[in-house]
Amino acid sequence: MASRFFVASSSDYDEEEEQQQQKEEEELEEKEENQEEAKENKQKSNVAKFFDDSWKSSEKRVVRSEKQKRWAELEFAINKVLDELTYANFKTSFEEFQSLMKLHSKSQKAIKQHGYPNFFIRGASDIQQQVKDLLPDNKDLRRFAQELEKFVVPFQDKLNEFAEHPENFQDEEEEEDEFQQDDDDDFEDDADADEGPGKWFIKSDDDNEEKNSDDDEDKDDKKEKRKNNNKSEVDYAEMIEQRLMASKNEVITDQTAREELDKDKLSRSKGKVITDTERLSILLHRVEDEKLKNDIQLEICFTIMQGSSEKAIPLTDWRLVLNILPKFRKPEEAEMLTPLFERLSRDFWARSVDPRTTFNPETNQLHQLQAEFNTSLTRFCDLLEADKKYAFVIRLQIIMLENCYHELAPSFEDRIARRARMSAAEVAAEETNQKEGLRARTPRELLRSILLKLSEDEGMFDANTTLSLKVRASLYYAIHLAYNGHPRQAQQLVGVLPDIPPELPFVRILNNRAFAEIGIAAFMTGDYRTAYNSLKGFTKNPVASNAILGQHPRIYAPWLNIDPAALEAYHYISAMMLDIPALTTFNYDDQVLLINGKTHKELQKKVGITACPESILDKIAVAIERCKRGEWQLARETLKYEIERYIPDPRLFERDLKLMSLCSYLLTANQYYDAVEIKTLKKQFDLEYEIDEKTKEKVNSRDVEDCLRMMHQGRSPVVNANIMFQAEFDNDYVKFALNEKETILGEYGRTLSTKGDMLQNDLILLEPTSNAY
């Protein structure tokens, strides 16, 4: 029988081939049970090679040992830090250093087994030296230096040795760990056995036996490996279960708890925390002695205080410590736990500011705990103030001001208002001294005097409080005065602060934020002059940066940011309210106007004012023209977008807009009419009724009468501007002096006479007068 794989072959050769194949099949059948897995791999290999023999790779994959991987990662991280420091990229270098610290924590197992590698000690020494050299001229490296100082503590002795004998830390030849082959090595071995020019020929018995023995060994190794893995998993699960059972069955007495607590305290005093809140919580629930419980509760607080600042405080620890804090009632305990509140506040803001955790459900739960946190904070503040620990009081009150933006207790608000009034009194006294020719004190001297009184009368500051801390506290108080409806007092308080040097950038940002908040609060309360004065510094900058606006992620959370367009709207609308009286009388001076008079002159050259304005200045100019005509509805419609977007409760602003439009209308009517009915004015300007805040019912409004009374005294409503208004009024009419003037619509070529002249002379105008007023 001829072989179909070859062109020519002898019959003897065919018989020999058949005998060899038969013999091979018999041997394979005998070992089929022991070589099942190897046989399957061989079949797969033969099928793959029949169709395509290019699949095989001549290189074997290898797996590096734990030591090699960790050493390579550490060396790469150290080089990255050094490169960034070389190029003076301090922010990036600190981020790379934080990554190095994390890798160092992951490499503890390898470090314990093999010690610190020489390249690590050399690199750490280089980083330490570079930071030390750059620190005097670059204050941004302060935090880097602090974290680096903590990082090198575990291997400080190695660094000292390297400084004395650097030759002992040269490049060492690392022992090459044996590489572990992948699980498919036996599969490749099977393929190797069959490859070659004579792969279709019969192999010798010795080759088959050697191959089968190798397969048996590989199979035994795999079974042993799987067995060990399963055993390790079972052992780990049993260990966890045994540990849980041991903790439940553990006998904890007051004596054993006291001994364990003493060890924890001793270790903590040396700078190393060896326990955790979970273990201390178990001790707390097992002991019975009240004093021991109090000591364990304090130790829980200290453990959280000294925890890593790089890790967030778990919610379980938040809830645990908030349940514990109400049990501390002594001033000395409140003094010891003041750093705890600072640590908790930093953790709260770190989670709130980070965009990765802002909308995290866990952050939402944390915000729900803020009210409880503020309650404990207020109580501790009262305990320290009663004990006259003023240095700790101010630290807690600053945290209170940072966390309680929109809600304050009435007593706290009253204290703030009193401090602001004291500041205003000091300013008034200083002005009196200047008038009497006495030596005027510098702003720093004035501030020192005010803060001294705050220290004596309110117990706010003591001799250990720095000026920077005092200024920050004063700015926070100014912000809260503004939030609680006292923008003018807040402006007086901020006005007496000294110039803040560039060395205090965060204080300057806080100062800018105070002016922005004062301007917003003043606008919302109808104090347009204070709003204009506080916000004019922001609109001068075409692009308002975070520093200008007083916004910074380390001080304010994202949801407390201020929209620059809102400040622009508040500023120009306030200027409009202040300019309307002067623009109505036609005898204004451009230097007196808050909005440049050129804007109004250019507007008059335009064809009508009914076109849709786009920019905020165009809108303001159009609104002013409409207010001058008494068309307050159209003026409100012009500013509709700004009102709806930036004024949450527009009722006060709309009332002020009506009164200013009424004032402008009466100033104009004084020139053309002899009398106007008050009832008509109320209806035209929608000032007939107002809502009683107590009863929530409609009552007759006296706004028109009050407006007339102020105007009769030479003052405009709302903004209290100087005006000239000659008229008499009673309960029914406003009576003007009889005269003849050119109408403000002179560009249309119309001249109107007073009503009295029209009736007396029985004149008939050629054109209707309804367009006038």
pLDDT tens track for 370-396: 778 888 988 998 898 888 887 788 788
pLDDT score for 606 = 45
Q: Which residue pairs, CB below 8 angstroms and at least 24 apart, start in 494-499?
A: 494/518, 495/427, 496/423, 496/426, 496/427, 496/443, 496/446, 496/447, 496/450, 497/443, 497/447, 497/471, 498/443, 498/444, 498/447, 498/471, 499/443
Which pLDDT score is estimated for 351?
A: 72
Question: Which residues are CB-contacts of 133 (< 8 A; sequence separation ≥ 6)?
Answer: none
Spatial separation of the C-alpha atoms in residues 284 and 254, rounded to whole Å: 10
Q: By the 8 A CB rule, do 520 and 538 touch?
A: no
Residue 122 tokens read as 């050399």
Q: Contact 60/67 with Cβ under 8 angstroms?
A: no
Residue 112 has pLDDT above 90, yes or no: no
According to the model, what pLDDT value does residue 308 have?
Answer: 78
Above 50 in pLDDT, residue 717? yes
Q: What H or E segment, with its residue span, contains residue 328?
A: none
C-alpha–C-alpha distance, residues 94 and 140, integer Å: 10
Residue 639 predicted with pLDDT over 90: yes
H or E segment at 210?
helix 205-249
Give the model confidence (pLDDT) of 561-586 as tens digits.
888 889 999 999 998 998 888 888 75
Confidence of residue 25 (pLDDT cuts 50, 70, 90): low
Under the banding of pLDDT at 50, 70 and 90, the label for residue 333 is: very high
pLDDT band at 753 (very low <50, low <70, confident <90, very high): very low
What percent of the chain stands above pLDDT 70?
Answer: 61
Q: Which residue's entry shows tokens 């036609």?
A: 586
Closest by alpha carbon to 653, among 528, 497, 740, 565? 528
Among 627-631, 662-666, 681-685, 689-693, the least confident range: 689-693
Q: Is the pLDDT of residue 7 over 60?
A: no
Phi and psi, residue 466, nearest 5°:
-75, 160
What tokens appear for 556 in the block?
């304010």
Alpha helices in 586-702 (DSSP H): 597-605, 616-628, 632-638, 640-646, 651-669, 678-684
Give me the residue label for tokens 């905020």: 616
Neighbour count for residue 3 (Cβ, 10 Å): 12
pLDDT at 755 over 50: no
Give the C-alpha distances (Å, rounded to integers) separating 394 from 147, 373, 466, 471.
Answer: 27, 17, 11, 12
pLDDT confidence of residue 325: 93
Q: Which of 81-85, 147-151, 430-434 has the highest mean pLDDT?
A: 147-151
Contact call for residues 455 and 462 (beta carbons, < 8 A): yes
CB 13 within 8 A of CB 197: no
**For the residues 522-535, what does the mean pLDDT come to?**
92
| Mean per-residue pLDDT of the chain | 71
pLDDT at 557: 59
Crossing angle of helices 361-368/338-353, nearest 10°? 140
- Of residues 217 and 408, more confidence is placed in 217
Provide the pLDDT for residue 758: 39
> Sheet containing 727-729: which strands, arranged edge to edge?
675-677, 733-736, 727-729
Q: How far is Cα 271 from Cα 728, in angstroms, rounded to an integer?
A: 83
CA-CA-CA-CA torsion sign (460, 464, 468, 469): negative
- 573 touches 620 (CB < 8 A): yes
DSSP of 588-599? --TTT-SS-HHH
Mean pLDDT along residues 494-520: 83
Amino acid identity, residue 603?
L
Say which range, 46-55, 632-641, 667-676, has the weakest mean pLDDT: 46-55
Q: How far apart are CA 403 and CA 384, in angstroms?
A: 19
Compute the average pLDDT of residues 13-23: 57
Between 189 and 369, residue with greater pLDDT: 369
Q: Would you say residue 729 has pLDDT above 70?
A: yes
Lowest mean pLDDT among 295-304, 469-478, 654-663: 469-478
Q: How many C-beta atoms surround the C-beta of residue 401 within 10 A?
A: 19
115 pLDDT above the threshold of 80: yes
Q: Among 138-147, 327-336, 400-409, which stretch is predicted with the lowest mean pLDDT?
A: 400-409
Position 524 confidence tier, pLDDT thresholds 50, 70, 90: very high
pLDDT number for residue 488:
84
CA atoms 73, 78, 84, 87: torsion sign: negative
From the list 333, 409, 419, the residue with the least C-alpha distance to 371 is: 409
- Mean pLDDT to the nearest integer, 100-110: 88
Using CB atoms within 10 A of its CB, is residue 579 exposed (0-12), middle (13-18) or buried (19+)?
buried
Please, how many CA atoms are within 13 Å of residue 290, restricted to the half-sphere of its CB?
A: 2
Neighbouring C-beta atoms of residue 451, cutoff 10 Å: 21
Q: Is the pLDDT of residue 455 over 50?
A: no
Q: Taking 80 as the threshold, does the pLDDT of residue 359 lie above it?
A: no
| Range of 277-281, 394-398, 537-541 with top mean pLDDT | 277-281
Least confident of 132-146, 175-189, 694-708: 175-189
**Would you state the pLDDT for residue 431?**
52
Q: What's the mean pLDDT in 168-183? A: 51
pLDDT mean over 409-423: 45
Strands 689-691 and 698-700: antiparallel
From the list 662, 649, 672, 640, the residue with the least C-alpha distance to 739 is: 672
Q: Provide the pLDDT confidence category of residue 35 given band limits of 50, 70 and 90.
A: low
The answer to whether 223 touches 37, Cβ cutoff 8 Å, is: no
Label residue 173 by pLDDT band (50, 70, 90).
Answer: very low
